[in-house]
Structures are given as C-alpha cells and as structure tokens.
Structure 1
Amino acid sequence: MNINGTIPPFICDLNNLTVLDCFNNSFTGMFPVALFNCSKLQFLDLSQNLFVGFIPDDIDRFSRLSSLNVSGNNFTGNIPAAIGRLQKLKELGFDQNKFNGTFPPEIGNLSNLERLSMAYNGFLPSRLPSSYTQLKKLKWFWISHSNLIGEIPEAIGEMVALERLDLAGNRLTGNIPTSLFMLKNLSVLYLFKNRLSGEIPRVVEALNLVEIDLSDNNLTGTIPVDFGKLRKLSLLKLFYNQLSGEIPQSIGRLPALIDFSLYSNNLSGVLPPELGRYSKLKTVEVSSNRLIGRLPEFLRNGGNLAGVAAFDNNLNGELPEWLGNCSSLLIVSIHVMHLQEIFLLVYGQLSI
C-alpha cells in the first residue's frame, strides 16, 4: 500500500492481535520496539521496507513468535544472540539487509525452525556455525552471497528435512560433503560461485533433486554416473570447473532435463546419444571441452530448444538439418572446424 512513516504504538491496543503483516511498504525508522507490547503476536513481517539500525538485543521479548521476517531492509550490526531463545520460531528471514557482524551460533538452538534465510548481507568472513546442523526440521536454508568461508561441515547431512540448500556466491573451500547427496528430501542444491574442490560425491541417493548448480568452482574428477538416477532433475549446471572424462550416457535419458550446462571443463568423448529423446530440453551448453562426434539426433525432439552452444570442441559430421526446423531456437553457437554442409535457417542468432 506504499504506507510511509512509522508503525504507530497504539496498534498494540488490539489486545488479541496475533498477525501483523507490513510487507512491501515504505515504513521507516528503527526497529519498532513498541510492538513488544503486542503480547500475543505470533507472526511479524516487516520485510521490504525502509527500516534502519539494529535488531534489539532483547528480541526474545516476542516470546510467542513463530515467524519473524525483516528481509529487504537496511538493518545493520549483529543479529543478537537472544534470537536463539525464541523457541517457537518456524520461519526466520534476515536476508537482503546490511548486517555486518557474524552468524549467531544461537540460531542452532531453534529446534522448530523450518525456514532460515540470511542471504545477501555483508557479514564478516565467517564459517558456517556447526550448531546450524542441529536444525533437524529445517527445510529452506538460504545463506548465499554472505561471506561464508571454510568448509561445508560433513554433519550437514544430518539435516534430514532439507529441501532447498543455497550457499552460492560465498568463499567456501574444500570438498562437497558426501552426506549432502544422501538427503532424501533435497530438491534444490545451489553451491555455485565458491572455491570448492575435489570430486563430486560418487554415490547419490537424493533422488528428489530437481536442480543442481555446482558451477564456477574448482571441482575435478568425473560427473557421477549416479546423476543418471535423478528422474526429477530439470537443471544441471556444472560449468566453469575442471571436470574430465565422459558425460554419463544415462544423463541423456533423464525425462525431466531442461537446462544442461557443462561448458568450460575438460570433458571428452561424445555427447550422450539419447540427449533430448526423453525430455524437452531448452538449453544445451557444452562449449570449451574436448568432445567429439556429432550433435545428438534426438535434440530435435525437444520442441522447446532455445539455445545450443557447442563451440571449442572437436565435433564433426554434418550440421543437423533439424536445426532449421526448431521454431523456438534463438541461439546456435557452434564454431567447429569439422562440420560440413552448413545449410539451415533459424530465426534469432546463428554463430558458426
């Protein structure tokens, strides 16, 4: 409603108020401590406003809160340790502020927490507190672009309820924990743009995975054959790593695969011959590898194919005629020395 000014203290004259939702307005000023007088408040959403200053050290006066969201403001300083005493919290949102302290380990005491977001803040370079792995009910865990350093703790595999994990855009190092790919409920895994190294875990039992983005790291070794078991996988991004070996042929048979980006690695062999046969691929990006052979014939069956980037490889044979029949195709970038019989018409951009 674009309401500005401050939240009036008299709102707590509503003695039975349990929900206060001020999302997406233009409220200003410091954290509205007058709301401590709303003794029955359970849900407080102050997100997407213009609040400034600190979160009060006695934030635990909201003893009944199950949801607190202050994301999208200009709060700064530390997140107070007292937050760990709000034992009824299920949702906690601190993302997109200007917090510049450290990650309070006391959050690990919130045993009922299901959703935690602290992304896009200027925290001091800090390790992920090991206490956070005690959050056994946590489903949504979002701490991207927040100066995380060090390794991802192996105990993260004990967070059995995790459905979405986003630690992208930090400075994490070390290996990807093997336990991470054992989480049965995990559907989204974003670890891109870190400094992770070593191999991708070989054994994958997280069969509910829908999106995997491990791009822009220092990963080595081969792509796990077990990725071919991920029948729900729609997005696989592994570009800007140092992966080698062949692409498992079983990935070409994944029925839900839409976005497939493996460029700028050291992959060899042929593209999975059945790539596009069972799924409606939209993007295929495999440039800057050492691939040989032809573009898979079944890519033409996708129907939604919008982009093919395969330059800087050793592909050979004829340029497929089906490229000219893909009405949704916007970008073709091949740049190959060995392709023959270049004859096609596409609406959009063609780079050969």
Structure 2
Amino acid sequence: KIWNGVNCFRSNNRVRYLTISHDNNLRSKFPLSIGNLPYLESIFFYHLPNLTGPIPIEPISKLIKLKTLTISSTGMSGTIPDFPVQMKNLFNLDLSSNHFSGSLPPSLYKLPKLEMIYFNNNKLTGSIPSSYGYFNNKNLPSLLLSDNQLSGRLPLSLARLNTTVIALSYNKFEGDASMLFGSNKATREIHISHNLFKFDLGNVELSKSMTTLDVSHNQIYGKFPVGIENISWLNVSYNRMCGKIPKGGNMHIFGVNSFFHNRCLCG
C-alpha cells in the first residue's frame, strides 16, 4: 500500500518506506517514534529546511532492517553518530547538504553492507579515520566528503579501498593522495580539487575504468600519468605540473581551462 509517502508491505501492512520531502512548512525535530517501525527499510527526508536538531541514534538503531537512510537538504545539525553494527543491512547513508559538524564517525567500516556514503556539503572537521580503509568487503562504490572543513593527511589505508567515485574537493586536505589511484581498482571518478595535496601525478597508475579526474587547485607536480588520454573529463589547472600535454585519445576535447596556471606545461 502507498499513501502520502508511506509504503507498506502487502502481507502485514507494516511500514516499509517513509518519504517526506519538499515541505517548507514542516517545523519539527526528527521523530523519535520512528523507532516503533521495526520493518522500515528506507527513510527519505529531503529538502526540509525546518527539520532541525541532531540525529537521534537510539530510535534509529532499532531499525535493524534499514537499508537506506537519507537526510538531505534539511536544517539538521549536531554530530554524525557512529551507527551500531546491528544495523547490518544499511547500504546507503546519505547525510548530504545539512549542518552536521564534528568529526567523521570512525566505526562505519563495521557495517558489512555499507556501499554509499554521502556526507558532502556539511561542516565536518578533522581527518579521515584510518578505519575507512578497512570496510569489510573493501568495496565502497561512493565516498563523497566534498564541501566540508576536513583537513590533515589521508590515511595510507585508503590504498585498500576500492571506490567507484571518491569526492574530497573543497576541504583542507594536504600531502599525498596517490593512494587513491591504482590500475587494479574499479575507480571511475576522482574529485580532489581545492585542497593542499602535493604529490607526483606522473607516478600514479590510472584505473582502466577512469572517466573523470579533477585535481585542480592543489600543489600537484610531475608529468601526466600513462593513460590520461583515455578519460572523458579532466582538470589539472592551478597546480605545479610540467612537461608535454599528451595528444591522442580524448585530449582534443579539453580546452585551455583544463591545464591553465601550471608551472611549465606545453603542447
């Protein structure tokens, strides 16, 4: 059954999906009574600017069948809690475009089915926990942390992580990011622009699946890596790269803005 954003199982009429979106008149905190819906598989709260307060982890932790938790574009704030391991079915965790602050929860890697983390566009601080390289199946197709106030060096353990999309742009990360690359990975998109990364791009190995690479506005140096001509979207502007711009492949589709303001690129 479906009515007003509520979807129920036909067999027992228990609530399965709960959706509330695009309501500027809703003025409330996150409903604590949601813990009384033990069969709930999906929560979708989107574009609710007057939904405020923190994430109430106690009632949410009772939802052991929950697969998708989306709280996006709301007025909610506070820290992002460590979701307990009994939420073993959680697959998609989207907390993007809110006012969440504090550090990244270090125990997320214990959730065995978690594959999508969207924490972008918040006010998060601190560094990425080393535990984020140890998700159970080593596969985390989407890790989006852009547009926060995160800082520090990336943990070397991220070399173990096999992501399809990783987005760290518009933060204050520094140092090496080469561990995000690898020819044996399934990575399609890497977005690390507007940080303080400093490493030799010429030494990385690109995934054969790579389609998008944005490393602009950093302190990255070196030459272009092998296979760069095969990707579909590229921006290395505002770095310290040198050498000849490769030809062939897709390189002809990139304008001067993709290479502007580097130390000594030519060609």
For the criterion TM > 0.5, the same-fold answer is: yes
Map of 1:234-249 to 2, 5 A cutoff? 234-249=164-179
- Flag structure 1 segments of 5+ consecutive residues without an equivalent: 1-42, 48-61, 68-85, 343-352
Q: Specify whether residues 339 and 252 from structure 1 end up closer, same or farther in structure 2 by C-alpha distance, changes over 3 A only.
A: farther
User: What is the match of residue 49 of structure 2?
Assistant: 122
Q: Deviations over 1:278-325 (max 9, x none)?
A: 32222111111111111212223x3xx222111111111222234xx3
Map of 1:331-346 to 2, 5 A cutoff? 333-342=258-267
- Flag structure 2 segments of 5+ consecutive residues without an equivalent: none
Q: Which moved more, 1:117-126 or 1:236-245?
A: 117-126
User: What is the match of residue 70 of structure 2?
Assistant: 142
Distance 1:87 1:179 in 2: 34
User: Given residue 91 of structure 2, which amino acid in structure 1 is its aligned partner?
Assistant: E
Q: Which moved more, 1:203-212 or 1:173-182?
A: 203-212
Ranges of 4+ aligned residues in structure 1 off by more than 6 Å: none
Distance 2:235 2:128 in 1: 24
Map of 1:68-79 to 2, 5 A cutoff? none
User: What is the match of residue 149 of structure 2?
Assistant: 218
Distance 1:294 1:275 in 2: 12
Map of 1:169-184 to 2, 5 A cutoff? 169-184=97-112
Normalised TM-score (structure 2) = 0.88
Q: Deviations over 1:38-72 (max 9, x none)?
A: xxxxx11445xxxxxxxxxxxxxx9x9438xxxxx
Deviation at 1:87, TM superposition (A): 8.6
Distance 1:267 1:115 in 2: 37
User: What is the match of residue 264 of structure 1?
Assistant: 194
Deviation at 1:258, TM superposition (A): 1.2
Q: Specify whether residues 95 and 109 from structure 1 end up closer, same or farther in structure 2 by C-alpha distance, changes over 3 A only.
A: same
Deviation at 1:115, TM superposition (A): 0.8
Deviation at 1:209, TM superposition (A): 1.1
Normalised TM-score (structure 1) = 0.68
User: Given residue 259 of structure 2, which amino acid in structure 1 is its aligned partner?
Assistant: I
Q: Specify whether residues 226 and 328 from structure 1 end up closer, same or farther in structure 2 by C-alpha distance, changes over 3 A only.
A: farther
Residues 275 and 299 in structure 1, CA contact (< 8 A), matched pair in contact too? no
User: Given residue 164 of structure 1, which amino acid in structure 2 is its aligned partner?
Assistant: N
User: Given residue 227 of structure 2, which amino acid in structure 1 is its aligned partner?
Assistant: F
User: Given residue 196 of structure 2, which amino acid in structure 1 is its aligned partner?
Assistant: N
1:44 partnered with 2:2? yes
SS at match of 2:72: coil
User: What is the match of residue 194 of structure 1?
Assistant: 122
Deviation at 1:119, TM superposition (A): 1.4
User: Given residue 145 of structure 2, which amino acid in structure 1 is its aligned partner?
Assistant: L
Map of 1:63-102 to 2, 5 A cutoff? 65-66=8-9, 88-98=14-24, 99-102=26-29
Residues 198 and 219 in structure 2, CA contact (< 8 A), matched pair in contact too? yes
Instruction: Work out which of the two has the higher radius of gyration on C-alpha atoms and give 1 or 2.
Output: 1
Residues 312 and 335 in structure 1, CA contact (< 8 A), matched pair in contact too? yes
- How many residues in Structure 1 have an aligned counterpart in Structure 2? 260
Residues 8 and 17 in structure 2, CA contact (< 8 A), matched pair in contact too? no
User: What is the match of residue 113 of structure 1?
Assistant: 40
Distance 1:226 1:167 in 2: 24
Sequence identity percentage: 25
Q: Deviations over 1:159-203 (max 9, x none)?
A: 221100100000000011001133220111100000001111112
Residues 191 and 214 in structure 1, CA contact (< 8 A), matched pair in contact too? yes
Q: Which moved more, 1:193-202 or 1:92-101?
A: 92-101
